[in-house]
Amino acid sequence: MIIIMLGAPGTGKGTVAGILSENLNVPTVSSGDIFRKAIQEKTELGKEVEGYLSRGELVPDELTIKVIEARLNEPDLANGVILDGYPRTTAQAERLDKFLSEHGKKIELAINLETPREELIERVVNRRICENSECKTIYNLKLNPPKQDGICDKCGSKLMQRKDDNEEVMNNRLDTYFKQTQPIIDFYDKKGVLCTYEVSVKINRMGTDVAKELTERLKK
């Protein structure tokens, strides 16, 4: 089973992907996590992508494709994967289709999450993430706060705020997303695998609600 998570930063892709991964026993691969880990470890890849991420820009296609394809070849993804944050451009989507076809696989579902822009900015500014790489549980100080300030409910590790989770960078990320990534929605819609959900406090539907609906649908 190969699933793609689509949506602007802050829509809850990570939350939905994490719940689906646990319920369906399918690993999640996040391009952002791969890049941030490389930055933290100060690898050559990390040095190369740090500038792009700090400005809220997309990492160039050639570099992103190389990293993701290497990860998809690893044995733990042999039976499926949930891709969070990839592909982000039509070129990446076309290359992914080609890569999967060469391995006798295809995209089964592209989940697109939509949230009002002002709500996205508020979410990201208030987002906190467990620093434990084995946990990475996501919290929101207003919508889903931890029981103890600054501490993960699940594993007891400290919570952190990403350096790029601020209003200025977020606005740039959203502008970049809608300009460069929006065409992917049309790409997967034409293939007949797109499924769009609105995620917003205004309609009382959050990522956990979407994940529950999708789990029931995919287990049928």
Alpha carbon dihedral 150, 155, 156, 159, in 10-degree steps, equals: -20
pTM of the entire structure?
A: 0.76
Residue 163: count other Cβ atoms within 10 Å of its Cβ.
12
Q: How many CB atoms lie within 10 A of CB 198?
A: 14
Phi then psi for residue 164, to 5 deg, are -90, 5
Distance CA 19, CA 22 (A): 5
In the prediction, which pLDDT does 58 show? Answer: 76
pLDDT at 217: 87
Burial of 158 from C-beta contacts in 10 A (0-12 / 13-18 / 19+)? exposed
Distance CA(54)–CA(112), nearest Å, equals 25
- At 33 the pLDDT is 80
pLDDT value, residue 191: 94
pLDDT of residue 177: 84
Phi, psi of 181 (to 5 degrees): -100, -25
User: Taking the chain (220 residues) in consecutive chunks of 10 residues, what is each chunk's mean pLDDT?
Assistant: 91 90 91 81 83 79 85 89 89 92 93 94 92 90 92 96 88 86 90 95 90 88
| Active centre residues (catalytic) | 13, 88, 127, 162, 173
- pLDDT value of position 10: 84
User: Looking at residue 182, what is its pLDDT?
Assistant: 80
Kindly list the structural domains of the chain, giving each domain's residue range(s) and its CATH number in brackets, ordered by start: 2-117+166-219 (3.40.50.300)
Query: How much is the pLDDT for 190?
Result: 94
